[in-house]
Copies of this chain bind each other. A is one copy, B any other.
Amino acid sequence: MGIMTATGPDTGASIAAIGSLDELYAFLSDHAYEALWTMENALTRQPVTTMRPYIWRYRQVRDLIMRAGDLISVAEADRRVLAFRNPGFSGRELARATDTLWAAVQMVLPGEAAPPHRHTPSALRFIIEGEGAYTIVDGARVQMEAGDFLITPNWSWHEHGHDGAGAVIWLDGLDSPMVSTLRQMFAEFEGAPQSKTHVYSDVLRSGYVEPSWMDRAVFSTLVWKLDDTLRAIEELRGEQGDPYDDVIVEYRNPQTGGPALPTMSAFMQLLRPGAKTWAHRQTSSTVYHVVRGTGYSVLDGQRFEWEPGDTFAVPTWVSHAHANPTSGDALLFSFSDEPAVRALGLYREQKAA
């Protein structure tokens, strides 16, 4: 065991001998100090990030993941995941869509399966196309169809497989960049519980009623079905809508009455024909995914046109407005780190010009 003594080397004489600022800075640099008066003021008036608004085209994404399927070995198939790397990202760590959010597209083919694991990042999944795939969360299995939204809470065991026909493609969303940056990453790859022979259906998983003698966690495998979500949106079509988001609904966790996950919220929004929203910006960052229709979003003054399957990232404090100039509907799925930002007392938003 090494020992660092209380007094350390006696540097008194060396410091007394420092004759210039340059010599002082050299000493500081050698001894794990930094002079604040030489540093650029880190207290910036607004958040500084190298992250940029960006859009990934589904036509390209789909071609790439299909081509990757041809080129990579079967052994690597369970990680056939194409991550969206924000082009502004220049760090040495995890690629990411925004500073705090990971987004990726994953393709699973019939017969493939990923082994169970769990981790401290929370995850969510939005099914882009296909059916026949399933996920098992804490031993409970649910089927996944296009348009479904699912959550995998922090530290719950999860795995997936596919026993249907044709490729299934989904969008993965995680708070892993935030968890990693905060040095909170833990993962486990062995010791998963057996799949349950009985899996509770949505009437129990939705928290409609609750068995008093059982642990709520048993029912944590939550899936929101597209049909139900669309039915809700359809009912709201005649309402005023949100000035920044038109007809938007949040996926609500029935066990808490709050956001889908403690660190991430998720939404589906209908931009009605002709809709054009106001612009605002928030200290949360958001990833959008186009479910239906065509339109455009204006991110910090730049117009991004989109069509189904496209995914775009809105980093923190970037102003954003959405428009659907067509005569048909446009539907956007999105997820955000807003609950985490709020939990730290740091959420703010502003109407933008």
Contacts and interface: CB of A to CB of B under 8 A. Distances in A.
Contacts of A20: 71
Contact of A56 (B32, B181, B243): B32
Interface residues of A, number: 150
A316 B84 CA distance: 29
Contacts of A306: 6
A263 B236 CA distance: 31
Contact of A83 (B36, B87, B303): B36
B305 A249 contact: no
Contacts of A39: 83, 95
A344 B343 contact: yes
Interface in A55-72: 55-57, 59-61, 63-64, 67-68, 71-72
A33 B84 CA distance: 5
30 contacts: A1-B301, A1-B302, A3-B305, A8-B55, A11-B63, A12-B60, A18-B67, A21-B72, A33-B64, A36-B83, A43-B121, A43-B185, A43-B187, A44-B185, A46-B185, A51-B183, A99-B182, A99-B183, A100-B183, A154-B346, A181-B181, A206-B254, A207-B257, A209-B232, A209-B249, A209-B252, A211-B242, A212-B249, A213-B240, A213-B245
Interface of A: 1-8, 10-12, 15-16, 18, 20-21, 24, 27-28, 31-37, 39, 42-49, 51, 54-57, 59-61, 63-64, 67-68, 71-72, 76, 79-87, 93-95, 99-100, 104, 117, 119-121, 154, 176, 178-189, 198, 200-201, 203-204, 206-214, 224, 228-229, 231-232, 235-236, 238-243, 245, 247-258, 262-263, 267-268, 283, 285, 294, 296, 298, 301-307, 310, 315-317, 340-341, 343-346, 348
